[in-house]
Chains A and B, each alone.
Chain A
């Protein structure tokens, strides 16, 4: 191989290594971002909580394990973990927020009102739960 050939080969190898590192970094970043990202888990919790509400009746008190959601929200830098799950009574929506900028909304069709929603933090920090009660809309007036 002459000198020019060697130079071309070197440049090519460097270019390929650069592209490989760039692609793998992108894939790694997107993988971590998607896995720790809030989208799927917000969607999951919003739908599962709305399922529980749809299947419940006025007078029921519900307790839902939200430990995984809280760990994720904490990892994503959310300061106020009391508000990771909220309810919009006017639009019958469950609102879940596990990241800084976005939140996910999902409607429940059971015609009930949700009262006293709260996160109860466990002493061991490992079994935190969301608690709330359902009442009929008439009873709230």
Chain B
């Protein structure tokens, strides 16, 4: 009888030991993970600017078409619209700003200018944060309607000082 009691007592201590270790450790890991995740989401994210940048680019293109003689724009689009060709065109893969100008609607009308190829992700906005942010605007000049799509997936670069 004494032997059994001792043995049972040791078994209880073993069980207590695992409960004491596993449950607090699990809680600690879960708690730390949740706080770390929250901090990372709050402080570690980029400042979201792509929507704003797409809107500004759209506005500049719209102003350019509105204020210039239509026929003169397309041959030297960047210069006429005072947009930096090096940033937009040569560094397209890096800077990731897209422009599409159409007579009528872009889904059905005539495309008159395009920078960048991928506008399909514009229709998927909200489904994945990594897709570019787009802005679409329509306007009428001299009785002719236009639609401008602009997109941005432009992020900052962090380099060694």
Which residues in A have their C-beta under 8 angstroms from that of B39? 27, 30-31, 34
Is the CB–CB distance between B156 and A105 below 8 Å? yes
Which residues in B have their C-beta under 8 angstroms from that of A39? 44, 158
Q: A121 at interface (Cβ–Cβ under 8 A)? A: no
Distance A113 CA – B44 CA, assembled complex (angstroms):
32
> Which B-chain residue is minimally distant from A136 (CB atoms)?
B82
Interface residues of B in 22-75 (CB under 8 A from A): 24-25, 28, 31-32, 35-36, 39-40, 43-47, 49, 52-53, 56-57, 60
Is the CB–CB distance between A109 and B20 below 8 Å? no
- New contact pairs (13) apart from A55-B56, A108-B84, CB-CB < 8 Å: A8-B13, A9-B13, A23-B32, A34-B39, A34-B44, A40-B47, A54-B53, A91-B87, A104-B156, A109-B57, A109-B87, A109-B88, A111-B84
Q: B157 at interface (Cβ–Cβ under 8 A)? A: yes
Distance A136 CA – B159 CA, assembled complex (angstroms):
28
Q: B143 at interface (Cβ–Cβ under 8 A)? A: no
Q: A12 at interface (Cβ–Cβ under 8 A)? A: yes
Q: B97 at interface (Cβ–Cβ under 8 A)? A: yes
Which residues in B have their C-beta under 8 angstroms from that of A13? 20
Which residues in B have their C-beta under 8 angstroms from that of A111? 78-79, 82-85
Query: Quick one: which of B16, B56, B57 contacts A9, CB cutoff 8 A?
Result: B16
> Which A-chain residue is minimally distant from B21 (CB atoms)?
A12
Q: B161 at interface (Cβ–Cβ under 8 A)? A: yes
- CB within 8 Å of B: which residues of A? 1-2, 4-5, 8-9, 12-13, 15-16, 19-20, 23, 26-27, 30-31, 34-35, 37, 39-40, 42-44, 46-47, 51, 54-55, 91-92, 97, 99-112, 136
Is the CB–CB distance between A103 and B87 below 8 Å? no
- CB within 8 Å of A: which residues of B? 6, 9-10, 13, 16-17, 20-21, 24-25, 28, 31-32, 35-36, 39-40, 43-47, 49, 52-53, 56-57, 60, 78-79, 82-88, 91, 95, 97, 154, 156-161
Which residues in A have their C-beta under 8 angstroms from that of B91? 107
Which residues in B have their C-beta under 8 angstroms from that of A12? 17, 20-21
Query: Quick one: which of A37, A92, A106 contacts B156, CB cutoff 8 A?
Result: A106
29 A-B pairs whose Cβ atoms sit less than 8 Å apart in the complex: A2-B9, A8-B13, A13-B20, A16-B24, A20-B28, A23-B31, A27-B32, A27-B36, A31-B39, A43-B156, A47-B49, A47-B156, A55-B56, A100-B161, A101-B160, A102-B159, A103-B161, A104-B156, A104-B159, A105-B156, A105-B157, A105-B159, A106-B157, A107-B95, A107-B154, A109-B87, A109-B88, A110-B84, A111-B82
